[in-house]
């Protein structure tokens, strides 16, 4: 199937790598090792691999659904469930993306307030960043993809983690396989939220030239995400004891304290500021997908809806008052993300498969 959108709006299949990896590798990596380690301890790295393998299966399911129907999820919902029920499901995704954008923006502002400017007003930084997001999203899908591609250079910061090598305790990794399968699965569930983002494929599919050829790039992106998270978790295990990790808010930022340069006194300030390269691509994609879904569902222009959604995200960010609210919001969204990935997508895959088989029988 060829892409449904005009050629000047589409992107090459290999850029799906940047899209999927940008969506998956957000600021959640900062504290992703804390909760899973409570279940799987030194074997948490096994859960990281398990979670990565599960997402390869989910990506495979997503492409089977999209390839069979030849369009995006918005139209598939209407085709499967009708105008009202399908519209209701699309509305759930719109709300989910707006909530995801609000949480990430509030997390970044909290990092800035804790590490850089304690007296900075939440609404002020939120306003500036949302104006930047408006400029990017209004530029169109190709501009967002360009930002996603540019954000890949953030991986250079991983090299800074090598400064911690002198403090590694390799005994922290032993004994291996000391936890039950149930404990490993519980840790795998906790790791789901940092991995979410592959559902964006449902919405960008028609903007990819020869979309079937992009599947291998989506799998490669998930592989690189798994590898990145494996490094993050292994470095946390080698550097901190379990008791220390439970007292850390963002262990990955703490690691930057070990970095020393003669020309930069506090490298952790660089690490905290650089989180903007993690959140801007995700927030832009979430607002683009939600505004596009609304445009298809209702007779309104995407540029008309976008400012309204930006205001909603701004209100959402302003209502998340502090750490407790952020954590409650995060737990709620991680639950929604878990069931969306491991319940709704398999349901859609089976539903589409049965529907196709029934159609052939008739």
Is the Cβ–Cβ distance between 320 and 109 less than 8 Å?
A: no
Is the Cβ–Cβ distance between 38 and 189 less than 8 Å?
A: no
Nearest to 23, CA basis, from 181, 277, 197: 197
Distance from C-alpha of 257 to C-alpha of 268, rounded to nearest angstrom: 6
Nearest to 288, CA basis, from 215, 221, 204, 210: 204
The crossing angle, in degrees rounded to 10, of helices 141-151 and 276-297 is 160
pTM of the model: 0.92
C-alpha 215: how far from its chain's center?
18
Tally of CA atoms within 13 A in the half-sphere of 196 that contains its CB: 26
| Residues 6 or more apart in contact with residue 188 via CB below 8 angstroms | 36, 47, 50, 51, 54
CA gyration radius for the chain?
A: 21
Q: What local confidence, expressed as pLDDT, does residue 29 receive? A: 78
Handedness of CA 337, 251, 266, 226 (dihedral sign): negative
Handedness of CA 237, 239, 242, 247 (dihedral sign): negative
Block means of pLDDT (10 residues each) for the chain, 362 residues, are 70 95 84 82 91 96 95 93 93 95 92 87 94 95 94 80 80 83 90 90 94 95 94 86 74 78 76 86 95 92 94 93 85 91 95 85 58
The string of DSSP letters for 39-92 reads HHGGGHHHHHHHHHHHHHHHHHHHHHHHHHHTS-HHHHHHHHHHHHHHHHHHHH
Q: What local confidence, expressed as pLDDT, does residue 1 receive? A: 47
Distance from C-alpha of 80 to C-alpha of 133, rounded to nearest angstrom: 33
Handedness of CA 89, 63, 300, 84 (dihedral sign): negative
Structure tokens at 87: 């519209």
Distance from C-alpha of 324 to C-alpha of 213, rounded to nearest angstrom: 44
Distance from C-alpha of 34 to C-alpha of 24, rounded to nearest angstrom: 18
Q: What local confidence, expressed as pLDDT, does residue 159 receive? A: 74
Would you tell me how many other CB atoms lie within 10 Å of the CB of residue 87? Answer: 17
Distance from C-alpha of 348 to C-alpha of 65, rounded to nearest angstrom: 8
Strand partners, 264: 261
Q: What local confidence, expressed as pLDDT, does residue 2 receive? A: 44
Distance from C-alpha of 351 to C-alpha of 346, rounded to nearest angstrom: 8
Distance from C-alpha of 358 to C-alpha of 355, rounded to nearest angstrom: 5
Tally of CA atoms within 13 A in the half-sphere of 77 that contains its CB: 21
Distance from C-alpha of 351 to C-alpha of 53, rounded to nearest angstrom: 23
Q: If 0-12 CB within 10 Å is exposed, 13-18 middle and 19+ buried, where does residue 181 land? A: exposed
Q: What local confidence, expressed as pLDDT, does residue 114 receive? A: 87
Whether the ω angle into residue 175 lies within 30 degrees of 0, i.e. cis, is yes
The crossing angle, in degrees rounded to 10, of helices 276-297 and 122-138 is 60
Q: What are the pLDDT digits (tens) for 13-45?
A: 999 999 999 999 877 777 777 888 888 888 899
């Amino acid at each position: 199937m060829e892409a449904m959108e005009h050629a000047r709006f589409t992107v090459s299949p290999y850029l799906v790598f940047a899209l999927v990896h940008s969506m998956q590798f957000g600021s959640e990596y900062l504290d992703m090792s804390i909760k899973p380690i409570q279940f799987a301890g030194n074997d948490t790295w096994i859960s990281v691999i398990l979670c990565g393998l599960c997402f390869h299966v989910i990506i495979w399911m997503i492409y089977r659904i999209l390839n069979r129907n030849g369009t995006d999820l918005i139209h598939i919902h209407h085709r499967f469930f009708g105008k009202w029920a399908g519209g209701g499901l699309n509305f759930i995704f719109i709300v989910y993306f707006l909530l995801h954008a609000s949480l990430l923006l509030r997390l970044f502002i909290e990092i800035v307030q804790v590490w850089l400017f304690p007296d900075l007003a939440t609404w002020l930084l939120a306003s500036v960043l949302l104006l930047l997001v408006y400029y990017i999203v209004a530029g169109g899908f190709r501009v967002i993809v360009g930002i996603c591609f540019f954000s890949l250079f953030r991986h250079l910061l991983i090299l800074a983690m090598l400064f911690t090598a002198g403090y590694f305790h390799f005994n922290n990794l032993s004994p291996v396989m000391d936890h039950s399968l149930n404990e490993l699965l519980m840790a795998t569930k906790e790791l789901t939220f940092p991995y979410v983002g592959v559902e964006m494929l449902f919405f960008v599919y028609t903007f990819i030239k020869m979309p079937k050829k992009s599947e291998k790039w989506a799998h490669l992106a998930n592989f690189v995400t798994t590898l990145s998270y494996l490094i993050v978790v292994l470095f946390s295990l080698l550097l901190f004891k379990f008791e220390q990790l439970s007292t850390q808010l963002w262990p990955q930022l703490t690691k930057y304290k070990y970095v020393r340069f003669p020309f930069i006194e506090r490298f952790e300030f660089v690490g905290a500021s650089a989180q903007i390269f993690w959140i801007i691509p995700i927030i832009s994609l979430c607002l683009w997908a939600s505004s596009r879904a609304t445009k298809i569902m209702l007779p309104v222009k995407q540029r008309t809806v976008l400012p309204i959604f930006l205001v909603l995200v701004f209100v959402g960010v302003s209502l998340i008052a502090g750490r407790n609210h952020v954590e409650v919001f995060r737990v709620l969204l991680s639950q929604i993300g878990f069931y969306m990935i491991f319940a709704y997508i398999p349901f859609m895959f089976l539903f589409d498969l049965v529907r196709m088989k029934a159609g052939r029988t008739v």
